[in-house]
Amino acid sequence: MISREHKYLFNLARKGMKIAELFNVSGKVAIVTGGSRGIGEMIAAGFLANGVKVYITARKEAALIEKAKELSEMYNGECIPVPCDLSTMEGMDDFVSFVQSKEDHIDYLINNAGASWGEPYAEYSEKGWDKVMDLNVKSIFYLTQKLTPMLAKQASLEDPSRVINIGSIDGLNVPALESYAYGTSKAAVHHLTRVQAKRLVGENILVNAIAPGPYESMMLGAAVNHDYSLIESRNPRKRIGSPEDIAGLVIFLCSRAGAYTVGAIIPSDGGLVGIAGHDLSQS
């Protein structure tokens, strides 16, 4: 009698190694939190361009609805806006209830929503610390927990569901700015990813994290007055990240090509961590 594992390998060989099969994500359903701008928008765009139905979240309702309409028209896809505050349990419950009313399962959860807070060390406030930790760490754990039944619904050995947590190289390096909670929260995201990966792999839900370096965003832009030239000059690749960089990595992790990658923390930073080995404050 042929074992389950041998059947799986036989079916894989029969399908072959064509790009269209290895990186196909079409027909899937994804959630991208914080999907109205920055890295979240880039990820949502990559999914939509490749046939994925995408739910995006943000707190600012008007901007979210406009962005969903723009992305739907641009990529001839289905981008559904869901205004909510994922930093609260009530906001997460409302969001999950909405998704459950529309879908019987989801395939990909991209935990991207995040916040930062900068203040001098001696003045760093509890309000800022709690805001960052609630959105960047607590919401990832509880939103994933609440959506686990939907992620597991159609997940299988051959076609697992995916969770991707968006961390940061500030969780790998010591950040230059006085954003004490931010770097700490992202280090927590990276370790939480490993913990979640161990717990969920048995349910055919694969959890990984991406640690982005500098990408165009409101958060980074505000810190550098939207002038990225100095950051680009200090990057081994001499540029900041592009939408293709982050979307391509997410599609890899969500596709058949990434189905053996579990509990990984993958930098997407032009070499800042792996080559330069220092933070953005250094030359």
Kind of pairing, strands 53-58 and 108-111?
A: unpaired
Does 8 map to a domain? no
Q: Which domain holds residue 82?
A: 20-276
Spot the catalytic one: 108, 182, 228, 260: 182
- Read off the pTM: 0.91
**Phi, psi for 115 (deg, rounded to 5):** -145, 160
136: confidence class by pLDDT, cuts 50, 70, 90 = very high
One-letter identity of residue 249:
L
187: left (phi over 0), alpha (psi -120 to 50) or beta: alpha
Q: What angle do CA 120, 124, 128 make, to 5 degrees?
A: 125
Inform me whether the pLDDT recorded for 14 exceeds 80: no
Does 67 map to a domain? yes
Average pLDDT over residues 159-176: 95
Does 261 map to a domain? yes
What is the number of domains present in the chain? 1
Q: How far is CA 30 from CA 27, 162, 205, in A?
A: 10, 9, 14
Token pair in block for residue 203: 């349910």
Q: Tell me the helix, strand and coil percentages in the chain, rounded to 5.
A: 50, 15, 35
283: confidence class by pLDDT, cuts 50, 70, 90 = very low
229: confidence class by pLDDT, cuts 50, 70, 90 = confident
Does 95 map to a domain? yes
8 is catalytic: no
Does 14 map to a domain? no
Q: What CATH number does the domain containing 204 carry? A: 3.40.50.720
Q: What angle do CA 39, 168, 122 make, to 5 degrees?
A: 115
Task: Identify the pLDDT of residue 16.
Answer: 64
| DSSP-derived secondary structure letter, 223 | H
Query: Where is average pLDDT lowest: 1-15, 145-159, 231-245?
Result: 1-15
pLDDT tens for residues 148-160? 999 999 999 999 9
Inform me whether the pLDDT recorded for 279 exceeds 60: no
Inform me whether the pLDDT recorded for 221 exceeds 70: no
Order across the sheet with 205-212: list the strands: 79-83, 53-58, 29-32, 108-111, 161-166, 205-212, 265-268
Does 11 map to a domain? no
Inform me whether the pLDDT recorded for 210 exceeds 50: yes
Task: Identify the pLDDT of residue 274.
Answer: 85
51: confidence class by pLDDT, cuts 50, 70, 90 = very high
Average pLDDT over residues 39-44: 98
pLDDT tens for residues 61-109? 999 999 999 999 999 999 999 999 999 999 999 999 999 999 999 999 9
Q: At what angle do helices 38-49 and 243-254 cross, to 10 degrees?
A: 60
User: Can you tell me the distance from the alpha carbon of 231 to that of 209, in angstroms, rounded to the nearest whole number?
Assistant: 23
